[in-house]
Amino acid sequence: MKCAQMNPRRAENTVLAANAAERENNNMRVVIQENYDKMCKWAADYIAAKIKAHKDERPFVLGLPTGSSPIGVYKELARMNQAGELSFANVVTFNRDEYLSLPHEHDQSYWYFMHDNFFNHLVDMKPENINILNGMTDDPEKECADYEAKIASYGGIDLFMGGIGVDGHIAFNEPYNSLSSRTGVRNLTTDTRIVNSRLFGNDPEAVPSQALSVGVGTVFDSKEVLILINEHNKARALAATVEGEVSQKWTCSALQRHNGAIITCDEAACGELTVDTYKYFLDIERTQRL
Ligand code: GLP
């Protein structure tokens, strides 16, 4: 962890000054958990609480990611569902992204990932309520415009869960993507293809060079955004998200402008935070209910 920059007294006063409503609606939350399993449990409990509290006839609209970060959350949500503790009958999902040109049955398509890791394990998820961009479309622009329109037809997304790339990308919005971008085609950087090549036989060339992705603006139109950041290799991205300037270089930093942003992370990812920031969030979270 880096040395302190912010005055602890200021942090303390900020805590005292903030009332519960402000904390709920206006402050970025950073929920630090000891390890990956606890981070996932916290996130699953949070999502479950939000779904259960949703009493409208209108479905609860949940945005979902792929990647290794959310796997533990999916396991816990599926466990709750199978145990009869949580229903997905009134939940509509929208995934964040999909590789262009990978068919559903390809084991690295995000369609395959989502069914394999989550949807196939739910007892009451309605297939017609699952929305994933179609990477095999012959009209990507229309596919993306229709996706935005469909999200809007549900009145927007209630809670968008996500992971983050080591370069801070949100969905497939690589560095310098506009912070107000909408769903569209994205070119992937060499860095991202190298990182993701672990799932493609360690061959970066085997990773598709393009994807369909919701935009930063699409994610930030959601009422709440819950981002999972774990492991040492995400430490720079976590620091950029929480302490950095809001910039296109780190698309994750746009979270600072969102009124319902929650980051949950493990200790390992905190290595680039200043001591004051780290202590501040541990302190303020002590008085925060779920
Ligand atoms: C991919 C996905 C992102 C995801 C990121 C991090 O690039 N498009 O949506 O957040 O990977 O994945 P992981 O959780 O495996 O580190």
Residues 76, 98, 169, 266: which is the catalytic one?
A: 169
What is the tens place of the pLDDT at every residue in 66-86? 999 999 999 999 999 999 999
Residue 71 class from Cβ within 10 Å (0-12 exposed, 13-18 middle, 19+ buried)? middle
Instruction: With respect to residue 33, please indicate whether it lies within any of the assigned structural domains.
Output: yes
Q: Is residue 97 annotated as part of the catalytic site, yes or no? A: yes
pLDDT band at 288 (very low <50, low <70, confident <90, very high): confident
Nearest in space to 4 (alpha carbons), one of 192, 226, 279: 279
CATH of the domain at 166: 3.40.50.1360
On the question of pLDDT at 21 being above 80, the answer is no
Which atom of ligand 1 sits closest to the CA of residue 188?
7
Confidence of residue 9 (pLDDT cuts 50, 70, 90): very low
Residue 144 lies inside a defined structural domain of this protein: yes
pLDDT of residue 290: 60
Annotated catalytic residue: which of 167, 221, 224, 266?
Answer: 167
Residues 223-236 as b or e (16 or more Cβ within 10 Å = b)? ebbbbbbbeeebbb
270 pocket-lining for ligand 1 (C-beta < 6 Å)? no
Q: Measured between alpha carbons, how far is 57 from 123 in angstroms, rounded to an integer?
A: 20
Q: Looking at the domain assignment, is residue 11 inside a domain?
A: no
**Which ligand 1 atom minimizes the distance to the CA of 69?**
14
Confidence of residue 56 (pLDDT cuts 50, 70, 90): confident
Range of the domain at 104: 17-285
Q: Is residue 12 part of a domain?
A: no
Which of 66, 69, 187 is the pocket-test mutation for ligand 1 (most atoms within 8 Å of CB)? 66
Q: Is 2 domain-assigned?
A: no
CA distances from 51 to 85, 155, 231 (A): 11, 16, 28
Sign of the Cα torsion 25, 30, 33, 35 reads positive
Q: How confident is the model at residue 7 (pLDDT cuts 50, 70, 90)?
A: very low
Tens of pLDDT, residues 96-112: 999 999 999 999 999 99
pLDDT at 11 exceeding the cut of 80: no
Closest CA relative to residue 1, chosen from 237, 270, 264:
270
With bands split at pLDDT 50, 70 and 90, how would you rate the model's confidence at 64? Answer: very high
181-209 tens-digit pLDDT: 999 999 999 999 999 999 999 999 999 99
Q: What is the pLDDT of residue 8?
A: 38
What is the rounded distance in angstroms from the CA atom of residue 115 to the CA atom of residue 32? Answer: 29
Asked whether the predicted pLDDT for residue 257 surpasses 80, the reply is: yes
Q: Among 101, 51, 86, 88, which Cα is nearest to 207's? A: 101
Q: Per-residue pLDDT tens for 219-238?
A: 999 999 999 999 999 999 99
Query: Whole-model pTM above 0.85?
Result: yes
Nearest CA to ligand 1 atom 12: 67
Within a domain: 184: yes
31 located within any domain? yes
- ∠ Cα 38 39 43 (to 5°): 115
Q: What is the Å distance from ligand 1's center to 129 Cα?
A: 23
Give the pLDDT confidence score for residue 25 in this predicted structure: 53
Alpha carbon nearest to ligand 1 atom 13, residue: 67
- Rounded CA gap, 109 and 97, in Å? 10
> Would you call 167 a catalytic residue per the annotation?
yes
Residues 102, 135 contacting (CB under 8 angstroms)? yes
The count of structural domains within the chain is 1
Cα-based distances in Å from 82 to 76, 79, 123:
10, 5, 6
Substitution site in 39, 64, 69, 177 for ligand 1 pocket (most atoms within 8 Å of beta carbon): 69
Residue position matching structure tokens 């040492």: 232
Q: Distance between CA atoms of 162 and 159, rounded to whole angstroms?
A: 10
Percent of the chain with pLDDT over 90: 88
pLDDT at residue 125, rounded to an integer: 98
Residue at 7 is within a domain: no
Helix or strand run (H / E) with residue 248:
none
Tens-place pLDDT, residues 137-168: 999 999 999 999 999 999 999 999 999 999 99
pLDDT of residue 57: 87
Q: Contact, 140 vs 216, CB < 8 A?
A: no
Residues 6+ apart with CB under 8 A from 223: 156, 157, 158, 159, 260
pLDDT tens figures, 119-144 = 999 999 999 999 999 999 999 999 99
